[in-house]
Amino acid sequence: MNQEPGSALAPPRARSDVPFYLALGVLSGLYLVLILAMLVADACFTTPDHLLQALRSREIQYAIRLSLISCTLTTILSLWVAVPLGYLLSRFPFRGRSLIDAILDIPIVLPPLVIGLSLLILFQTPPGRWVQQFVPITYAVPSVILAQFSVSAAFAVRTMRAAFDEISLRHEQVALTLGCSRSQAFWLVVLPQARRGLITAATLAWARALGEFGPILIFAGATRMYTEVLPTSVFLELSIGNIEGAVAVSLLMVAAALVVLLIVRVYGNDTASLRRL
């Protein structure tokens, strides 16, 4: 059918976006529902008496103390590595940077048991045995920190590199033209702007260290009142059939992670507000 001259084409009828939004909501909500369902199932499986009993246990109290100490030390060590390495990878192109970038992904993609086995083998070599003549590491408390650090540092480095990538080079270049050295420009200009990234890196490192299990089990063992941290406490409680105790310890880990994340989020928002003033 030919259209008459001068007549306008009718605009296409807009289709409803309701099915699209509905699909987005369903697909996105499935994972959130799964997480909430797991937490609710844990909370319903145990009772307040089980939680109090777990908190009164000398073994669990020791595991809580060792977890807090080891995770904090791991976070500090991770930041000491992540800040300079992330800045180096972000600011300076050099030969072999892609290789270093790939090496940093190894602790992230390797199975945790392989990392623990590799650490165990490392300290069975002549250099590793020589180190252990002065500091006992394998199946001791230092092995817990080293196992946590070997994985947590990789996440911290990735976070700090992303933070430095978001900072404009212009601010640093202006500081250099005004007479600052490279180190002065880093400490006075770059690092203060990367404060939120620093907080995020510390959060990821601490949370990752808190949940580390595989490398600790292989490299440090699961000895009660010695190398026992919260993840290995869950394993030990399950090994003796105390499912209620394992769930109670798991809820303690969830609560600790939520408290840390809330504190860091509030502090990060306050820091961002102050920087905008």
pLDDT tens column, 167-216:
888 888 888 888 888 888 888 888 888 888 898 889 889 989 998 998 99
Give pairs for 106-113: CB < 8 Å, separation 24+: 106/154, 107/150, 107/151, 107/153, 107/154, 108/151, 108/154, 108/155, 108/158, 111/214, 112/151, 112/212, 112/213, 112/214, 112/215, 113/214, 113/215, 113/217, 113/218
Three-class SS of residue 15? coil
pLDDT digits (tens, 9 = 90+) for 235-274: 988 888 888 888 888 888 888 778 777 766 665 554 444 3
pTM: 0.82
| CATH code, 50-276 | 1.10.3720.10
> Domain residues of the chain, as ranges?
50-276
How far is C-alpha 226 from the geometric centre of its chain's CA atoms?
25
Please give the C-alpha separations between residue 101 and each of 80, 98, 158, 163, in angstroms, as whole numbers: 18, 5, 9, 16
